[in-house]
Each structure stands twice: as C-alpha cells, then as structure tokens.
Amino acid sequence: MTLILRLVLTVSAIVALTVQPTFAQERRVPVPGEVRLSYAPIVQRVAPAVVNVYAAKTVRAQNPLFDDPIFRHFFGMPGGGGTQVQRSLGSGVIVDPRGFIVTNVHVIEGADDIKVALADKREFEASLVLKDTRSDLAVLRIKDGGAQFPYLEFGNSDALQVGDVVLAIGNPFGVGQTVTHGIVSAVARTDVGSSNYQFFIQTDAAINPGNSGGALVDMAGKLIGINNMILSRSGGSQGIGFAIPSNMVRVVVDSAEHGGKTVERPWLGARMQAVTADIADSLNLVRPTGALVANVLPDSPAAKAGLKAGDLIVSIDGQTVDDVNAFNYRFATKPLGGTAKLGIRRDGKEMTATVALASPPQAPLDEITIRTRSPFGGAKVANLSPALADELQIDGSTEGVVILDVDRGSYASNLGFRRGDVIESVNNVHIEKTRDLERVADSQPRGWRIVINRHGQRITAVFN
C-alpha cells in the first residue's frame, strides 16, 4: 500500500470519528437548577412600583327623554335630567418615593375621583398634580402624608435599539397586574398616536386595554417608556404597541415635582415643514429627510440663531433628524436655559447654528367665558400669545382670540366650535382681544357671520 493511500485512509478515519450525526449525541435530563433562565428577578424589583389607576367622573345622562318635561313629570323625575358615573381603568408608574405617579391623560381625563391600587393590594386616593395633553401624560400624587413608596428609576430611551428585550407591566382588561415580554420593534414611530409629539417606541410585548399608563422597562429594570396605545382590529393585542419614551416622561415629571402647573418647553419660534419627495429632489437630497424651516418669527430664538426660511435642519446636538416629528421631540426634551447646536443645510452647504433654549414669551391672556346668548355662549377664550400658540400647536404668526375650552351642551359646543379655533372676525369686525369678542357677543345682532382659523384653514360660518 502506498504512502499516499495510507494517508487518505487515516484522514477518512479521523473525519468519521469527529463528524457524527446529531441523532447519535447523548441525551440526558437536565439536573434541577442547572438551566433556569427567567425574568423573575427583574419583575420582582419593578412590579411593586406599577399601580392600577381607577378614575370616576359624573356625567349628565344623554338620554333625550330626560329633557322632556312631560316624561320627567310622568315618572316623577326632577328637572335637569339624570346623571351617571363613568369609570375608566388604567395603569400608572410610581417614579418618586414620595408617591408621584405618571399615567396617561386619557386614563384620568375629567375624573372627579382617582384611586390607585398597589401590587401589595393597598389602595390610596390620588390627586392630579399636572396634566400635559400635548404628550398625553399626567402626574398624580398619592394622598398619604409622607409615606415612602417603591419607585422606578428612569432609563435613557435614546439608548434603545431595535431588538432590545423589554417587559410591559400593567392591568389589562382589569384582570390584575400582568407582565408580558417582547422586543423593541422600532424606536421612532411617527404619525400613529394621539399626542402632539409623534415619536413612539414600538414593541411587540402584549399591550391591551388597561395597560395604558403602565411601565415599559429594560433588562436593567429601568423605566424606558409609558405604554400608551395599540394598533388593533379586534381591540386586543396584535403585537403592535406604542410607548411614550422615558426622556419625554422625565420632562413632564420634573415640571410636576418642581410645582409647575404646565410643562415649559423650549421655544424655537419657527414653523417647520415636512420634506416631501419633490422637495428632496429640489434640494438634491438622496432621500426625504430632515425638517424644513418654513418661516421664522422676528426676535425669536430661531431668528437670533440666524435660521432662515428654506434651511433644512438635519441634526440636533449630533442626533439625526429624520422628519419634523423627530425634531419636535428632540427639541422639546432639551432642558431650558442652555443651548442646542443645529446641523443645517443651506444652499447645498453644511452649516451649524446655536439656538438658545428659552421659554416662549408670555403675554396677558385675559381669559373670559362668554355667557351671553350667542354662538360663543359657553366658550372660554383668551388672547393668543407665543406661549399659548406653542401649546396649542398654532402657527406663531397667528394673531387674535383663541378658544381654550367649550362647555358641554352650550351654544358654542352645539355649533361645533373647538379648542384651538382662532376667531378672526365677527360680522366683519376684526377681533384682536377677548374684550372685542365680548362686546360683539353682547350686541345681539340679527345674524352672525363668523370667520375662524382652524389649523391654518379659514372657515366662514353664517348663523341666523
């Protein structure tokens, strides 16, 4: 036998010994305790800080028979109709040992009575400290007189990556505290929510009705989001849930803990425009990205930083800006008092601009509620200021009187007036201040011709 043949046979024998089929491998039962992977240690740390939120409000019964005096007389019912108690159920997260709880506005909206139940079955009354409708976040405080409560620390939601494992904790369908797990499906979902700041964490962790306001935590047990809503055709979880990032939550909580009644955020003083495919082509962009400056208000931080209409903002403090929603979120979560460095493109050139992080200027609002028998009866109005325009997401260049609230069942409500409507003129009289509107409403004309500005659209309404 030749030397070459012997070598071939030897190599074949070695391969036959080392490459064995998988079905020939040894099988055995794991020793108890040998393999035990579990999220239990994380859940044990964070679950005590997640609470159930019970909100109740008394509303007037909507049955039209209650408005019929003959019906009320026949059945011995008092005037004014009946009332009923509406209850809502959600979740919340204790974020401070003094009993500060963050939840969603839509969980406690209009509530006359709010109670929270802890994981250990203790129940407490809670008061509303701050409500921020722009982010759909509300801060409550337990009425307990100084007890120390378990709480969650904030994580950095900007550090999340698609694929990170997360846990969702809440009270789905009122069955009691429930934990689900999944991954981060996306980190900057826009145009999907009910808040002004369209910038959500998407997860496939099961979220159902009742989970709103609950915690989304990372593997370090840090709070990285407040569960907000789901996309579903059935009403139950279909693996598409959204959470408000913790960096936005932190801003709202900080304002509440420092005694603020509203959340003060930086004011840019410029209106942004989405970059469409056509705009991207005109700017020689590879893809539609960034936030386009549409106009700049005089004496605003944007103007003082040198921004001009037509500038394309592509980053803020080194973080990429993909669209207008991303810029609004990034800018709104910056702390007041400092500066932010904006990366911009102007005429095809890369530039930077440093903008001051300042609050919008305040002006006398002169809030009044119209009580006369007029189309504005029951409407609460105020003079429009830069700060109020920023809060209501109205173009900062708009002037006039804005509707803040409308009483349910009032003339203004029945005629369709809404919060955020800017009243420009009434019967060809220009409305500059709330007192102008009050005088016109008191004049009792034979007819009404009202021009309002609703989200940039001018609407004319005629009433007799």
Residue 291, amino acid: A
73 as an active site residue: the answer is: no
Among 448, 420, 452, 416, smallest CA distance to 460 is for: 452
Of the residues 67, 106, 315, 405, only one is catalytic, namely 106
Cβ neighbours for 15, distance < 8 A, ≥ 6 positions apart = none
212 as an active site residue: the answer is: yes
Which residue's entry shows tokens 């003083």? Answer: 269
| Eight-class DSSP state of 144 | S
At 318 the three-state DSSP class reads: coil
Of the residues 91, 157, 185, 212, only one is catalytic, namely 212
455 as an active site residue: the answer is: no
Among 35, 91, 95, 40, smallest CA distance to 219 is for: 40
Contact indicator for 130, 141 with CB cutoff of 8 Å: no
Of the residues 132, 135, 136, 157, only one is catalytic, namely 136
Distances (CA, A) of 167 to 144, 158, 182, 240: 29, 17, 6, 14
Which residue's entry shows tokens 């950095």? Answer: 156
Structure-token pair, residue 101? 């709880």
Radius of gyration for the chain, computed over Cα atoms and rounded to the nearest angstrom: 29
Cβ neighbours for 228, distance < 8 A, ≥ 6 positions apart = 104, 136, 193, 194, 195, 200, 212, 242, 243, 244
CA distance 198 to 195: 6
Q: What ranges in 47-90 are assigned the alpha helix state H?
A: 69-74
Q: Sort strands 270-274 and 291-296 into parallel, antiparallel or unpaired.
A: antiparallel
At 91 the three-state DSSP class reads: strand
Active site amino acids: 106, 136, 212
